[in-house]
Amino acid sequence: MPPVITGKLYGSSFTAKVIQERYTKFGMNNYRPEDLFSIYIAGDGSKTCSSPLSDFSIRLTVPKKTGTFSGNDTYILVNDPGDPSGQNGSLFSSEQTIITISSITGDKVIGQVNVKWPEQNIDFKGHFDAYYCK
């Protein structure tokens, strides 16, 4: 099965075209930034490691280890596709935000995501291969 994430962001259809792991200075709860993967997902195939982070529709933040994580071990950032400025969006975590990291290699992290937030009409899932940006 090819890596792909599809679903709805604020009710708009979404299909991932670019999935990257990029180091950010974002820490959460008991995790330091270096202990986390920040996986950025874009529906625009032209996005690269030098594109601004705000150009990406979704950020998945998850511990840098294999396993299945939800609740306080995950943070999901979703930009509102109806706001081109990238200023509007949601940062959330819940028991309905499930991220599985199945493999960590020298050049990528492989896993699955299944996120539901009915109140914001956010619902996406799928497999990912996120290559590290150097």
> CB-based burial of residue 101 (10 Å sphere; 0-12 exposed, 13-18 middle, 19+ buried)?
buried
Please state the domain count of the chain. Answer: 1
- DSSP label of 80: -
* Structural domain range at position 125: 5-132
Q: What is the pLDDT of residues 71-113, one digit of tens each?
A: 999 999 998 877 766 667 788 888 889 999 999 999 999 999 9
pLDDT of residue 5 exceeding 90, the answer is yes
Q: Taking the complete model, does pTM exceed 0.85, yes or no?
A: yes
CA dist 124 and 42 (Å) reads 13
